[in-house]
């Protein structure tokens, strides 16, 4: 916007707000116009107590996508996952969640080895997965907002085969209010909502499952800057409550601003795991492009 425009017009909630000359406008001023309030920070990462290892992955492999992936996740931690598109980041987490079948490797939860063959298995282990593509693999577009919120936790509101409709409505309404989801009604089809509100619905879905481990794949892609800040704040609140988060993101400022540690993937392999305090954009890009790995190989030779 700032590079190629002469003027910028801002609309918010279907209403015209203001037009300004680009040369007289700063990024912060534009953000304030877009969200209707001042944002003190886009990455409101709060200090959370990081505890013992809750999840451990050893030599996880899926031929054609990645091999020998080993890492751990601690209680109260946000583990950022960085790398170029196509590096295998999403495939690793889909395998961890049971969407893909692993060829080899072990997964430990609280020290005990577990088997995950399907998303149902992962959910039973109190894991959640906010997928990268909300339209293709996240939302049930032709169904209601309410259904999209409570579907993953539906078993909590059933007595046998009977669904307690009041409980599902109350649960969905609670998430609607908590996340400020803008919709005329919970009966509204989710396909009519904005991208940001669809993303909030999906976040609400996994909050209802009370997951101890939440995997979020590109959690703020394609949404407005105000909603980005709200989702960042929510993720920060969750880890303060003792939850653990794995966050895949292609946005370098987001990875640096929200992570406690950052795991970098290059061509299906981990090239580095860096503490956030030691991470820089340059270092992460070197890992993501295989430069550091190439140097290691040259030293071995």
CA distances from 137 to 33, 77, 133, 168 (A): 32, 26, 6, 22
How much is the pLDDT for 37? Answer: 64
In the chain, where does the domain assigned CATH 3.40.50.300 lie?
Answer: 46-126+215-301
- Taking 70 as the threshold, does the pLDDT of residue 293 lie above it? no
- Taking 70 as the threshold, does the pLDDT of residue 29 lie above it? yes
How many CB atoms neighbour CB 221 within 10 A?
A: 16
Tokens of 164: 């307690």
For the stretch 95-104, pLDDT in tens is 999 999 999 9
In whole angstroms, give the CA distance from residue 40 to residue 70. 37
CA distances from 84 to 78, 178, 248, 250 (A): 20, 34, 11, 7
Chain centre distance of CA 185: 26
At 85, the pLDDT band (50, 70, 90 cuts) reads confident
Indicate the DSSP class of residue 165.
Answer: H
Helix (H, G, I), strand (E, B) or coil at 276: helix
- Taking 50 as the threshold, does the pLDDT of residue 230 lie above it? yes
- Taking 60 as the threshold, does the pLDDT of residue 297 lie above it? no
Contact 185, 133 (CB under 8 A): no
Tokens of 260: 């406690």
In whole angstroms, give the CA distance from residue 74 to residue 143. 36
pTM for the predicted model, two decimal places: 0.82
CA angle 199, 116, 91 (to 5 degrees): 55
> The domain at 46-126+215-301 falls in which architecture?
3-Layer(aba) Sandwich (3.40)
How much is the pLDDT for 161? Answer: 83
For the stretch 108-139, pLDDT in tens is 999 999 999 999 999 999 999 999 888 788 88
Contact 256, 60 (CB under 8 A): no
């Amino acid at each position: 916007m700032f590079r190629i425009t002469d003027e910028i017009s801002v609309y918010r909630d279907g209403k015209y707000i203001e037009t300004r000359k680009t040369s007289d406008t700063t990024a912060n001023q534009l953000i304030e116009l877009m969200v209707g309030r001042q944002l003190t920070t886009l990455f409101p990462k709060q200090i959370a107590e990081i505890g013992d290892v809750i999840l451990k992955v050893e030599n996880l492999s899926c031929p054609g996508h990645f091999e020998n992936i080993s890492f751990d996740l601690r209680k109260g931690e946000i583990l950022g996952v960085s790398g170029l598109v196509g590096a295998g980041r999403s495939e690793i987490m889909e395998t961890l969640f049971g969407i893909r079948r692993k060829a080899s490797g072990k997964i430990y939860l609280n020290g005990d080895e577990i088997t995950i063959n399907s998303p149902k298995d992962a959910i039973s282990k109190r894991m959640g997965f906010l997928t990268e593509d909300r339209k293709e693999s996240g939302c049930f577009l032709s169904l209601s907002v309410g259904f999209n919120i409570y579907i993953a936790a539906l078993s909590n509101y059933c007595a046998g085969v009977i669904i307690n409709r009041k409980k599902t409505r109350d649960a969905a309404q609670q998430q609607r209010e908590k996340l400020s989801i803008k919709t005329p009604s919970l009966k509204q089809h989710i396909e009519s909502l904005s991208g940001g509100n669809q993303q909030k619905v999906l976040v609400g879905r996994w909050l209802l499952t009370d997951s101890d481990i939440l995997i979020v794949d590109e959690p703020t892609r394609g949404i407005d800057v105000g909603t980005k800040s709200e989702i960042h704040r929510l993720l920060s609140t969750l880890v303060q409550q003792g939850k653990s988060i794995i966050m895949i993101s292609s946005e370098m400022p987001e990875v640096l601003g929200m992570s406690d540690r950052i795991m970098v993937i290059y061509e299906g392999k981990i090239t580095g795991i860096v503490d956030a305090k030691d991470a820089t954009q340059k270092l992460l890009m070197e890992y993501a492009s295989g430069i550091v790995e190439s140097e290691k190989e040259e030293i071995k030779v």
